[in-house]
A and B are shown apart, each in its own frame.
Chain A
Amino acid sequence: MDNPNLQASLKVNIESIKSCTNGSDDLIVREFRIGSGRAERDIAILYFDGLTDERSINQFIMEPLMQYGHLQGDRSDSKENHLLDRLKNSVLTVGQIREVDRFEWASDSLMNGSIVVMLDGYLTGLSISMAGWEQRAVSEPTNQTVIRGPKEAFTENITVNTALIRRIIKDPRLTLKNRKIGKVTKTNVSIMYIAGIADEEALKEVNKRLEAIDTDSILESGYIEEFIQEESYTIFPTVQNTERPDSVAASLLEGRIAILIDGTPHVLLVPALFVQFFQAAEDYYQRADISTLIRVLRYFGLFIATLVPSLYIAITTYQQEMLPTQLLISLAAQREGVPFPAFIEALIMEATYEILREAGVRMPRAVGQAVSIVGTLVIGQAAVEAGIISASMIIVVSITAISSYVIPEFDMSIAVRILRFIFMGLAAAFGMFGVFVGMSLLLLHLSNLRSFGVPYMAPVGPINIGDQKDVILRVPHNSMNTRPSMFSKLNPIRQRRARNKGK
C-alpha cells in the first residue's frame, strides 16, 4: 500500500482494505446510501464474519443509519466532517466508538471484532467495537477445585477475566494496563495490580520484561511465562499460574502482580515463591487449624514424592543396617526371585506410572476405561505375581505417585517428578551419601533462586519471623494483621488489631 492514510474515495478505501486482508472471503462489505437529494452519500460498513455480533449490527448500526441518516447532514456544511460527527454523536447508538484514519488501524480494529464505517468523501472512518463471538461460559475450575469457596474460573476471554477480578476487588486503586504482544497474533496482555500495594520496582521489572518480548505469537500464558521467568536455569517454577479469580485477588492484595493473557484461562502471578506453591485457595476458606494440619501434610507429601523411592533404593542396596531386622527380612523375602536390581525395578515402575499418567491426559475420553484397566493390571498385582517386581516397590511407587498430587500447584509437582529421578540416580550410585549430597545441592540451588527480585525461599530463607504466619502455619484471619513483607513494603497494614471478635 502506497498511502497509509484513508482516501476520499470510498471505492479506493474498500479496495485497499480488501487487499490489506489479502481478499479474505470472511470480510463482509456492505455498501448502501444514506441521506437524500444533495446530501446523498455512499457509505460502507466492513466487518469480519463471526467476530462481530450480527444482530447488534443490524439493530444499532444499520437501522439508525438507514432510518435517520438521510435527515441529517448537508453537503454544503462548512465543516468537512460534519456528517461523520453527526453520525457519531447522534445516530449510532453504540458505546465504544473511535475515529480511524489509517488503513493499518482500520484493519487492526477489524481483526479485534470491530466494524468499520466509512463514508464517501471523508478521510476518516469510524471504528465501532461490536465484538461478539462464540465463547465458553464462566464455569467451575477444572484443575484447582475446592470444597468450600467460589466455584468460578477464568475463561478464554480476557475482558471476562478482568471483570471477574474487578467484581471481587471494588477499589479504584485496582489498576489495569493493556498491551499487545506478538507481531502476528497481537495478543492482548493485561497487567493488573493494586496501586499503592504492589511494589514499584517489581512493576517496572515486569513491564521491562514484557517489553523485551519479541516474538510473533503468544498462544498461551506458558509463552509469556517462559519469556519473563528468571534467567538462571531451574526446574522450579518462578511464575505461578492460576485459573481462580479469588486466588488472583488474594495475590493482588498481597502486593503481587497479575498478568492476564487473552485466549487462556490461566493467569500468571509474579513474584512466585517456593512456599506459595503449597498454599491452596481453600486454606483461607476453612478453619485455620485444619489448614495448618493440611499444610504440614503437603510438605510431608513433598518429602515423600521427592525422596521415598531414592531412600528405598539407597537403604535396600547400600545401608541395609538402617532397617529394623524384621523389616529387612520381610523386604528380603519379597525380593527373593526378583531378577532386577532395586534401581532398575524402581525405574521400570516409575516409567510405567509416568506412561500411564501421560496416556491418561492425552488419550481420547472414549478409550479411557481400557487404558485404566490395563494400567491397574500392569502396575498392580500382575507384576508382583509374575515375580518381576517386588510388592514393596509397588507400594513405594504408588505412595510416591499419590503424594505428588498433594502439592496444590501442578508446576511444582512437575518439578518434584523431575527431582525424583535425579535422586533415584544418586541413590543408586552413591547410596545415602548421594541422597544427602543431592539434598545439599538442592538446598543451595533453591536458596540461590530469585523471582522478580524476591528470594525464592523467602520467608524461610532469609527468615522472617513475622511472615511465618502463612508458611507452614495458617494463622486465623484476625491475626493476619500485616501483608507478607517479601513482596512489597508499601502499605503493610492489612487490618488494625481485631476488635470485631463477635462480642
Chain B
Amino acid sequence: MMIRKLVSLLLAISLVLPLAGCWDRRELNELAISVAMGIDKSGSQYQVTVQVVQPGEVAMQKGGSEGMTPVTLYKAEGTTIFEAIRKMTTVSSRKIYAAHLRIIVIGEELAREGIGDALDILSRDYELRSDSFLLIAKGTTAAHTLGILTPLEKIPANKIYESIQTSEKVWAPVISVTLDKFINDIESKGKNPVISGIKVSGSNEKGGSLGNMKTTQPAVSIQNNGLAVFRKDRLIGWLNQEDSKGYNYILNNIVSTVGHVDCPHGGQVALEVIHSEAQIKSSFQNGRPRLAVELRTEQNVGEVKCQIDLTDMQVIRELEQQAEQVLQGILEHLLEVSQKKYKSDFIGFGNALHRSNPGEWRSLKTDWDEIFEDAETDVTVKVKIKRTGTVTNSFMEERE
C-alpha cells in the first residue's frame, strides 16, 4: 500500500517535468549572442543595430576560420525598439540574446533629440544588464560605428569595452558611464548626465570588411573621444579633452593619469598623477549658492625635457606651483563651460548642495539650472610632488 502510494507520488512529480520545465530553455547554439546595440533615428522610427558574434570565427578551432567576419550586424526599424529587435528574426536565424550586451551606442542625432524614451526598454527588459557601457557615436550613426572591425580584439564591442576600461585607469579624459549610472543621473535633480563619446576615424568604406584588419595600420579605427554633455536626456554639446580631464578630476574618477607643466626656462616636465582627491563643497552665502572645489593630488615626475635641478627643493616647489596653476586653469575652464556655455550642471553641484543645505535645496531644485548659471565658484588646488623616478636629474643636465 505504502509502495503504491509512493510510486503514484513519484509519477505525479515526474509529470511536473514536461508541464513546467523547459519553457525558457535555449541551447547555446540557438542564441544570437549580441555584444553591442546601436540605436539611431530614422525618420519617426528607431533604427536598431545589433552586433552579433559568430562564435566559430571568434573562438578559433581546428580548421576553424573560413574567412568570415567575427561579428555580423543585424538592422531593423520599428516604431519602438522592442518591435525592431523582434523584427530582426526576419533576417536572423536566431533570436537576439542581449544578456551579454557590452556597449550601447547611440547616434548623435538621436542623442540631440533626447534618449530617455529609447532607454526605457533597456532598463525594463529583464534580459539586459544595466552595467553595459553607454556611448555616443560622435558625428555619425551608431550603425556606422558598430560596423567597424578592429584588430587585437576580434569583437569590436569588446575592443571598445576593454579600451574604455583600460583607458579610464591611466588616462584622465576617459570615463565609463554605465546604463544605470546614466539613469541615476537623469533621475537626480542636482546633476545632469554625461556620456563618453566614441569616434570613427579614417576613410569610411573599408571599415566593415576583413581587409581593414589585414594591414598593420587599419584604415578605419574607433577611438574614445571626449564626453557628451546632456541637459536632462538631451545632448547639448561636447567637452574637449582638457575639459573631460577636469570633469574626471572633480568627480574623483582619476586612478592615474599624465599631464605636463612648462619649465621656467622653456621645455616641459611630464607629471604622473598617482593620487587625486577632490571635494565639492557647496554652501550658501548671502542667499546665493557658493560652489567650491578642492582638489589635492600627488604626482611623480615622469619625464624631464628641460634643464632644471630636481635635487633642489625650491625647484620642486616651483613645479608644484606650476602644476597647481595648470590644474586650476583646467578646472576653472570646465566650470565656465558648464555655467556659461552649456548652462548645465553636469558636475553635480546640485547634489552636493542638496546634501549640505537640504532646506534651501527644496526651494531651489525646480530651477536649479538657472541659479547654477550665476553661482559663485571657487577652485583650490594643492599638488605634491612625491618622487622623481629612478634618476634625480636628467642625464643631459648632469653633462653640463
A residues adjacent to B (C-beta < 8 A):
316-318, 320-321, 325, 328-338, 341-342, 425, 428-431, 434
Q: How far is the CB of B123 from chain A (nearest CB, A)?
A: 16
Does A325 lie within 8 Å of B58, measured CB to CB? no
- A335–B27 touching, CB < 8 Å: yes
Name the A residues within 8 Å of B99 (CB-CB).
320-321
Interface string of B52-79 (1 = CB under 8 A from A): 0101101101000000000000000000
Chain A residue numbers with a CB within 8 Å of B97 are: 320
Interchain CB contact (< 8 A) of B33 among A316, A329, A334, A434: A329
Cβ–Cβ contact B26 & A334, under 8 A: no
1/0 per residue, CB under 8 A from A, across B14-31: the answer is: 001100111011111101
Q: How far is the CA of A434 from the CA of B53 in the complex (A)?
A: 30
Q: Which of B17, B24, B55 makes the CB contact (< 8 A) with A332?
A: B55
CA distance A434 to B16 in the complex (A): 12
By a CB distance below 8 angstroms, the chain B residues around A332 are 28-29, 31, 33, 53, 55, 59
Given contacts A336-B55, A428-B21, 6 further A-B contacts (CB under 8 A): A320-B99, A321-B129, A325-B33, A325-B100, A429-B20, A429-B21
Number of A-B residue pairs with CB-CB distance less than 8 Å in the complex they form = 77
Contact status A316-B55, CB under 8 Å: no
Residues of chain B with a CB closer than 8 A to A337's CB: 29
Q: Which residue of A is nearest B22, CB measured?
A: A429
Give the 9 A-B residue pairs with the shortest CB-CB distance, closest first.
Answer: A429-B21, A333-B59, A333-B55, A321-B99, A330-B59, A332-B55, A335-B28, A332-B28, A335-B29
Collect the chain B residues with CB atoms within 8 Å of residue A317's CB: 25-28
Contact A328 B56 (CB under 8 A): no
Interface residues of B in 286-323 (CB under 8 A from A): none
A334 touches B61 (CB 8 A): yes
Please give, as numbers and ranges, the residues of chain B lying within 8 Å of A325 by CB-CB distance.
33, 35, 100, 102, 158
Q: Can you report 30 A-B residue pairs in the complex whose CB atoms are below 8 A from each other?
A: A316-B28, A317-B25, A318-B24, A318-B25, A318-B26, A320-B26, A320-B28, A320-B31, A321-B99, A321-B127, A321-B129, A325-B33, A328-B28, A328-B33, A329-B33, A330-B55, A330-B59, A332-B55, A332-B59, A333-B55, A335-B27, A336-B55, A337-B29, A425-B17, A428-B21, A429-B20, A429-B22, A430-B20, A430-B21, A431-B24
Contacts of B28 in A (CB 8 A): 316-317, 320, 328, 331-332, 335, 342
Q: Point out which of B27, B61, B99 has the most chain A C-beta atoms below 10 A from its C-beta.
A: B27
Q: Which B residues between 230 and 264 are near A, CB-CB below 8 angstroms? A: none
- Whether the pair B58, A333 counts as a contact (CB closer than 8 A) is yes
Q: In the assembled complex, which residues on chain A have CB atoms less than 8 Å from the CB atom of B24?
A: 318, 431
Nearest neighbor of A331 in chain B, beta-carbon distance:
B28
A466 to chain B minimum Cβ distance, whole angstroms, is 39
- What CA separation (Å) do A309 and B16 show in the bound complex? 22
Residues of A within 8 A of B61 (CB): 333-334
**Nearest residue, chain A, Cβ from B101:** A325
Measured in the bound complex, the distance between the Cα atoms of B99 and A334 in whole Å is 20
Smallest Cβ distance from A315 to chain B, in angstroms?
10
A321 touches B100 (CB 8 A): yes
For B20, the chain A residues whose CB sits under 8 A away are 429-430
Which residue of chain B has its CB nearest to the CB of A313? B25
Q: Are A336 and B29 in contact (CB under 8 A)?
A: yes
In-complex Cβ contact of A429 among B17, B102, B158 (8 A): B17
**B53 & A316 in contact (Cβ 8 Å cutoff):** no
The CA-CA distance from A336 to B35 in the complex, in Å, is 18
A343 to B156, CA, bound (A): 33
A300→B306 CA distance, assembly (Å) = 61
- Please indicate the chain A residues that have their CB under 8 angstroms from the CB of B56 in the complex: 333, 336
Complex CA gap A314/B99 in Å reads 16
| Distance from A319 Cβ to chain B, minimum over Cβ atoms (Å) | 9
Q: Which residue of A lies closest to B154 (CB)?
A: A329
**Interface members, chain B 308-353 (any A CB < 8 Å):** none
**Closest-CB distance, A394 to chain B (whole angstroms):** 14
CB A382 to nearest CB in B, in angstroms, measures: 14
CA gap between A431 and B55 in the complex, in Å:
23
Contact indicator A329/B29 (Cβ below 8 Å):
no
Residues of chain B lying within 8 A (CB to CB) of residue A316: 27-28
For the complex, give the distance between the alpha carbons of A434 and B100 in Å.
23
Q: How far is the CA of A333 from the CA of B56 in the complex (A)?
A: 5
Q: Are B27 and A341 within 8 A (Cβ)?
A: yes
- In angstroms, how far is the closest chain A Cβ from the Cβ of B213? 18
Residues of A contacting B29 in the complex (Cβ-Cβ under 8 angstroms): 332, 335-338
Q: Could you tell me the distance in whole angstroms from the C-beta of A283 to the nearest C-beta in chain B?
A: 39
Q: What chain B residues lie within 8 Å of A334 (beta carbons)?
A: 59, 61
| Chain B: minimal CB distance from A95 (Å) | 53
Query: Which residue on B lies nearest to A316, using beta carbons?
Result: B28
Cα A425 to Cα B155 in complex, Å, equals 35
CA distance A318 to B127 in the complex (A): 12
In the complex, the chain B residue whose C-beta lies closest to that of A342 is B27
Task: Evaluate contact between A329 and B55: CB separation under 8 angstroms.
Answer: yes
Q: Quick one: which of A318, A328, A330, A425 contacts B100, CB cutoff 8 A?
A: A328
Proximity bits, B102-132, A CB within 8 Å = 1, else 0: 1000000000000000000000000101000
User: Which single residue of chain A is at the shortest CB-CB distance from B62?
Assistant: A385
Distance A185 CA – B218 CA, assembled complex (angstroms): 87
Shortest Cβ distance from A341 into chain B, in angstroms? 6
The interface residues of chain A lying within 8 Å CB-to-CB of B21 are: 428-430, 434
C-alpha spacing A325/B102, complex, angstroms? 9
Central interface residue in B16, B35, B53, B100, by most chain A CB within 10 Å: B100
A429 proximity list for chain B (CB < 8 A) = 16-17, 20-22
Give A325 to B56 CA distance when docked, in angstroms: 14
Task: Give CA–CA (A312, B257) in the complex, Å.
Answer: 42
A342 to B31, CA, bound (A): 14
Please give, as numbers and ranges, the residues of chain B lying within 8 Å of A428 by CB-CB distance.
21-22, 25
A316 to B59, CA, bound (A): 17
Question: Could you tell me the distance between the alpha carbons of A342 and B29 in the complex, rounded to whole angstroms?
Answer: 10
For A320, A330, A333, which residue has the most chain B Cβ atoms within 10 angstroms?
A333
Residues of B within 8 A of A342 (CB): 27-28
**Chain A neighbourhood of B102, CB < 8 A:** 325
Q: Which residues of B contact A434 (CB under 8 A)?
A: 21
**Residues of chain B lying within 8 A (CB to CB) of residue A329:** 33, 53, 55, 58-59, 155
A338→B26 CA distance, assembly (Å): 14
Across-interface contacts of B100 in A (CB, < 8 A): 320-321, 325, 328
With a cutoff of 8 Å between Cβ atoms, the chain A residues found around residue B59 in the complex are 329-330, 332-334
Provide the residues of chain B in CB contact with A331, threshold 8 Å. Answer: 28
List, in ascending order, chain B residues with CB within 8 A of A336's CB: 29, 55-56
Complex Cα distance, B169 from A183, in Å, reads 82
Residues of B within 8 A of A333 (CB): 55-56, 58-59, 61
Complex Cα–Cα for A332 and B70 (A):
13
**Closest residue to B70 on the A side, CB-wise?**
A329
Give bound CA distance, A74 to B27, whole Å.
98
Q: How far is the CB of A174 from chain B (nearest CB, A)?
A: 42
Bound together, the chains give a CA A318 to CA B26 distance in angstroms of 6
**Contacting residues, chain A, for B158 (C-beta < 8 A):** 325
**Shortest beta-carbon distance, B45 to chain A, in Å?**
29
Cα–Cα distance between A320 and B24 once the two chains are bound (Å): 12
Residues of A within 8 A of B53 (CB): 329, 332
B383 to chain A, nearest CB (A): 40
What's the nearest-Cβ distance from chain B to residue A429, in Å?
Answer: 3
Which chain A residue has the least Cβ–Cβ distance from B17?
Answer: A429
A325 to chain B, nearest CB (A): 5
Q: Which residues of A contact B22 (CB under 8 A)?
A: 428-429
Collect the chain B residues with CB atoms within 8 Å of residue A330's CB: 55, 58-59
Q: How far is the CA of A55 from the CA of B28 in the complex (A)?
A: 75
Q: Name the residue on B nearest A340 (C-beta).
A: B27
C-alpha gap A397/B97 in the complex (Å)? 27
User: CA–CA, A428 to B22, complex, Å?
Assistant: 7
| Most chain A CB inside 10 Å of its own CB: which residue of B16, B22, B31, B127 | B22
Nearest residue, chain B, Cβ from A327:
B59
A341→B22 CA distance, assembly (Å): 11
Measured between beta carbons, the chain A residues less than 8 angstroms from B127 are: 321
Q: A328–B59 Cα gap in the complex (Å)?
A: 10
Q: With CB as the reference atom, state the residue of chain B lying closest to A319.
A: B99
C-alpha gap A329/B31 in the complex (Å): 10
